[in-house]
Structure 1
Amino acid sequence: MPSARSPILQRLRAETALRHAEMEAALPLHNGQLTRATYQALLLRFWGFYKPLEQRLHLSALYAQPNFDYGARLKSPKLEHDLHDLGITSDMLLRAPQCRELPVVTTLPQLLGCLYVIEGATLGGQVITRQLQANAGLLPHAEARFFNGYGADTGPHWKATGAFLTERAEAVDQDDAIVASANDTFYALGRWVAGASFPEGL
C-alpha cells in the first residue's frame, strides 16, 4: 500500500498548505469556549456544503471507480444526525442554505483533488473531536459524529484513500489538475464557512 511519501500525496500536502490554513482559520473552533449555538451554526454550514457536493459526486465518475466505495463515506448523513441531536428538525434542514459555488468535479483528476480534501479532513477531525468533548461535552457518538469521522478506523480509511489516490493519479498522469482541484475545494469550503454569521460566545 502506498505511503504518505507517494509523489501525489507529497505534492498535495505541500501545495495546498496555504489554502488549507486559510480554510481552517475560518472555523470558529479555536477558542476553547465554543457555545452550543455556534457549534450548531457551524454544522449547518458544513451540511450546506457537503450535501450538494455529495449529490454532485454521486453523479460523477467517482462512483464507477474500482476499489473505492465513496457511498460508504458520505458526510452529510452524519451531519444530519448531529444536527438532529442538537435540535435541528428535518423541516429546518430543508430551509437551510446550500452552497452554490462548489468545486467543479467533472473529470477524474478533479474528483481526486476534491477527495483528498474531504477525506483528509477526517484526520483533523479526530483532534477536533477530542477538543469538542473536553471543552463542550460533545460526544463523538452523538453530537460530534461528523468530526469523529470513522472513529478508530479513520487511520486505515485514510491509508486506503491514499492508496486509491496514488494508483489513480499514476494512471491519469495529471498531477497539476489534481492539485488545482484540491486547492479549489479548500477555497470553496473556506469561502462558504467564512460567509456564515456565527452566534456570539467564542
Structure 2
Amino acid sequence: MGELFVGGTDTSSSTIQWIMAEIINSPNTLRKLRKEIDSVVGRTRMIQETDLPKLPFLEAVFKEGLRLHGPSPLLIRKFQEGYKIRGGFYIPENTTLVVNAYAIMRDPNFWEDPDEFKPERFMGDLKPEEEARREQALRYIPFGIGRRACTGEKLSGIFVRTVIGVMVQCFDWEIKGDKVNMEEAGGRIFLGMAHPLECTPSPRALNHPLPSHLISSSST
C-alpha cells in the first residue's frame, strides 16, 4: 500500500513539473494553450474537470509530456508460464522482462523529431482508430498496455490536466535564465528532474478572484 501511495503521488507531481517545464520553455505552446482555455472556459471562472473534453490541445500537451517524460521509464513483467513470441523466441517460465518504455517513446523510427516537445503531433491529424493502433503497437506506453496497464491512468489524466490548466490560466511564470534545466535525475525508480523546477508565479488579470491558497506562496 505504501508503494502504491508514494508511487501515485510522486509520479503525478513529477509529471506536473516536467510538463510545466516544457510549457515554460515553449512560449508558443503557452500562448496556444492559454488561448484555448480562455476561449472555452472564459476569464470569469477557473477551469474545471468538466471542461477537459473540450480542451484537445491541453490533452495533447499532457500526452506529449508523458511521451517525453513518462514517470516509469522501465516496465517490469514476469512470465508466469513459458511462452513463444514472434520470431520463434521462447521465454521460459519465471523470466523477468524489462521493457524500455523511455526508448520506445523516443524511437526515431516511430516518432518525428522524437526528442522535441511537439504537442501538435497528438492533434487532429491523428484519428482515434490510428491512435489505438499506435498504442497497440507499443509506441506510446506511459501507463503500460494491456491487462497490466496502470489502473490510475484515467484519474491521473484528469488530475494532472486540471492542475496544468489552472496554472496556465491563472498565472504568468518567471524563471532564472532563459530556459528551464531539463536534466534528468538518475538512480530513481520514477523519472524525476535533476534540478527541481523553480519559478515565480504572478497572477494574470482575470475577471474572477483567485482563491487565497493559490496566491499565498510566491514561488514553487
TM-score, shorter chain, exceeding 0.5? no
Higher strand share: 2
What is the TM-score when the length of structure 1 is the normalising length?
0.28
- Greater RCO (Cα-Cα under 8 Å, separation 6 or more): 1
Higher helix share: 1
Larger of the two Rg values belongs to structure: 2
What is the TM-score when the length of structure 2 is the normalising length?
0.26
